[in-house]
Amino acid sequence: MTGPLLVINAGSSSLKFETFDVSDGTPRRNLRGEIERLASDAPHFVARDGEGRPVERLLGADEDPLAVLLAWLGEHGGGAPCAVGHRVVHGGARHIGPALIDDALLAELATLVPLAPLHQPHNLDPIRRLRTHAPSLPQVACFDTAFHRGHSEVVDRFALPEALYAQGVRRYGFHGLSYAWIARRFAEVAPTLAAGRVIAAHLGSGCSACAMVGGRSVDSTMGFTALEGLVMGTRPGQLDAGVVLYLVEQGMEAKAIEHLLYYESGLKGLSGISGDVRDLLADGGARARLALDVFAYRAAAAFASLAASMGGLDAVIFTAGIGENAATIRAAIVQRCAWLGVALDPARNATNSTQISAADSKVAAYVIPTDEEATIARETLAVLAAR
Contact 345, 330 (CB under 8 A): no
| Start-to-end Cα distance in the chain | 13
Please state, in angstroms and rounded to a whole number, the distance separating the CA atoms of residues 58 and 60. 7
Alpha helices in 17-102 (DSSP H): 65-76
**Measured distance CA(280)–CA(292) in Å, rounded:** 8
Sign, Cα dihedral of 193, 195, 197, 198: positive
DSSP classification of residue 340: G
CATH architecture of 5-143: 2-Layer Sandwich (3.30)
Report the DSSP beta bridge partners of residue 201. Answer: 209, 318
pLDDT in tens, the chain (387 residues): 678 899 999 876 678 889 998 888 888 888 888 877 666 666 677 776 556 666 666 555 566 777 877 887 887 767 788 899 999 999 988 898 999 999 999 999 999 998 888 889 999 999 998 998 889 999 999 999 999 999 999 999 999 999 999 988 999 999 999 999 999 999 999 999 999 999 999 999 999 999 999 999 999 999 999 999 999 999 999 999 999 999 999 999 999 999 999 999 999 999 999 999 999 999 999 999 999 999 999 999 999 999 999 999 999 999 999 999 999 999 999 999 999 999 999 999 999 999 999 999 999 999 999 999 999 999 999 999 887
Q: Coil, strand, or helix at residue 268?
A: helix
Residue 338 CB partners (closer than 8 Å, separation 6+) = none
Is 235 within 8 Å of 206 (Cβ atoms)?
yes
Give the contacts of 131 (CB within 8 A, at least 6 positions apart). Answer: 101, 106, 137, 139
3 state SS of 54: strand
Decide: 67 and 60 in contact? Cβ < 8 Å: no
Amino acid at 364: A
In sequence order, the 6+-apart residues with CB closer than 8 A to the CB of 232 are: 205, 206, 207, 266, 267, 275
Spatial contact of 354 and 364, defined as CB atoms under 8 Å apart: no
pLDDT at residue number 385: 87
The domain ranges of the chain are: 5-143, 192-367
What is the per-residue pLDDT for 119?
Answer: 87
What pTM was estimated for this model as a whole? Answer: 0.92
SS3 at position 361:
coil
Q: Cα separation of 374 and 271, whole Å?
A: 35
Distance between CA atoms of residues 81 and 102, nearest Å: 18
Residue 165 CB coordination number (10 Å): 15
Identical fold for domains 5-143 and 192-367, yes or no, is: yes
Q: Nearest-5° angle of CA 31, CA 34, CA 39?
A: 165
Cβ neighbours for 378, distance < 8 A, ≥ 6 positions apart: 27
Neighbours of 76 (CB within 10 A): 18
Cα dihedral 194, 196, 202, 207, rounded to 10, equals: 170
CA dist list (Å): 24 to 1, 21, 27, 185, 309: 9, 8, 8, 21, 41
144 is catalytic: yes
Catalytic residue among 24, 41, 103, 144: 144
Query: According to the model, what pLDDT value does residue 38 have?
Result: 61
CATH architecture assignment, domain 192-367: 2-Layer Sandwich (3.30)
The sign of the dihedral angle between the CA atoms of 365, 369, 374, 376 is positive
Residues 6+ apart with CB under 8 A from 358: 343, 344, 345
Q: Nearest to residue 303, comparing CAs of 335, 280, 326?
A: 335
